Amino acid sequence: MTPNAVDVIKAKRDGGRLTDEQIDWVVARYIEGAVAEEQMSALAMAIVLRGMDAAETARWTQAMIDSGDRLDLTVGVDLGGRPLVDKHSTGGVGDKITLPLAPLVAACGAAVPQLSGRGLGHTGGTLDKLESIPGWRATLSTEEMLAQLEDVGAVICAAGAALAPADKKLYALRDVTGTVEAIPLIASSIMSKKIAEGTGALVLDVKVGSGAFMKNLADATELARALVSIGVEHGLRISAVLTDMSVPLGRAVGNAVEVAESIEVLKGGGPADVVELTVALAREMLSLAGLSDVDPAEVLASGKAYETWCRMIAAQGGDPEATLPAAKHVEVVEAVEDGVLIGLDAYAVGVAAWRLGAGRARKEDPVQHAAGVMCLAKPGDTVHKGQPLLELRTDTPELLAAARDALAGGIVIGDAPREPKPLIIDTLRG
């Protein structure tokens, strides 16, 4: 008997398990328009409330993959024996890790096809950051992407509209119906796109903390397990690294400022936490790719990763030596008392950067490439009254007041430092 939308909704509403046939049917018919938006909204809410088991989630992921094209990065491409490996982050504040990581892993001998997205709300988007480089373009044809992967070993570009189109449509619906939080839907959204991209190995950076989508470790761990389970079900070599996002990553939060910080890392400098996470994720990616005998820290120090970065940027029309955009207005936030900076809330800083113009409220909104926040002090630092703690950067000075409001309560100065949280919390492997 052919499924129908009402029966599928009722089955999940009543706590039942959806059959493979029901899942395949409802996703396919939703793309065609035969399942109405309000019906899929009801089903998404039922999934939020009732959940899905591992098998349902894997099948839902497959149905989303089957809604569009699937890349095969091994056909018609001569990678010279380079193994394919990819990385995905669930998003955070100051999370520019993809920028130094992709050329580093490529310089270590792997091929990195990094299909990335844009920022929304307080978390930044990799493509927005890179578009602050004059001439750089995010949109490549499949042929251009494969040629660059063959020549350079790394490409960071926009995913084509034909990859998992059901995810794009469903994500927009979830965003306006209060159903984003369903872990099975989050996991299938991430994995459908990554599996459709055609990589054979994947490392997931699952953020946890105030600046992340998952605020507590229990939820982040549940998501990580779901992601790894889907990957294993679909034959991927996969691991998920749980990392802290209670404090901004690095000192730069924005677009051009994060590119500049990434270049510092590639040249052998940069903030210690950005270097630590870049090298740790590189090690994990190289392990999955069968290149665990290569030390990414040594390759980073050698300058080879920076050379790969320059080639990668130039291949997409960018000028790696160009001067990056600088904000027209800079306002300093000062310490109000002497003491130790014990709190710099990632979410507060992320919202401040967003309000300065670095992010967007809707996908179609533009971003200011020069806008953002520079963290001049980090938790654990001793500070003095009047000392600069943050720089607020924007081309639109009337946005400064909203950014200051966003920081209210986000900066905490005390008498003694707190025990620092580890940056890398745990790793789950498939």
Calculated CA dihedral for residues 238, 249, 106, 199, nearest 10 degrees: 30
274: tokens are 């950005």
Give how far Cα 400 sits from Cα of 202, 357, 430, Å. 39, 10, 46
Question: In this structure, are residues 313 and 320 in contact, taking their beta carbons and an 8 Å threshold?
Answer: yes
From the list 188, 189, 210, 239, the catalytic residue is: 189
Instruction: Kindly state the helix (H) or strand (E) to which residue 164 belongs, with its residue range.
Output: none
307 alpha-carbon distance from chain centroid: 24
Q: How far apart are CA 187 and CA 328, in angstroms?
A: 40
Residue from 429, 83, 78 nearest 284 by CA = 429
Active-site residue, 174 included: yes
Give the amino acid at 104. Answer: L
From the list 174, 194, 311, 393, the catalytic residue is: 174
Q: How far apart are CA 243 and CA 264, in angstroms?
A: 22
Give how far Cα 20 sits from Cα of 66, 113, 306, 411, Å. 13, 31, 47, 50
Helix (H, G, I), strand (E, B) or coil at 130: helix
Residue from 154, 159, 129, 127 nearest 141 by CA = 159
Active-site residue, 88 included: yes
Q: DSSP letter at 412?
A: E
Question: In this structure, are residues 116 and 86 in contact, taking their beta carbons and an 8 Å threshold?
Answer: no
From the list 86, 95, 167, 345, the catalytic residue is: 167
CA angle 242, 243, 249 (to 5 degrees): 160
From the list 193, 194, 237, 251, the catalytic residue is: 193
Q: How far apart are CA 190 and CA 88, in angstroms?
A: 8
Residue 385, classified by CB atoms within 10 Å of its CB into exposed (0-12), middle (13-18) or buried (19+), is: exposed
From the list 29, 59, 88, 369, the catalytic residue is: 88
Give how far Cα 426 sits from Cα of 124, 242, 329, Å. 24, 5, 40
Active-site residue, 86 included: no
Active-site residue, 167 included: yes
Question: In this structure, are residues 138 and 158 in contact, taking their beta carbons and an 8 Å threshold?
Answer: yes
Active-site residue, 239 included: no
Overall size of the chain counted in residues: 430
Q: Return the active site residues.
A: 88, 167, 174, 189, 193
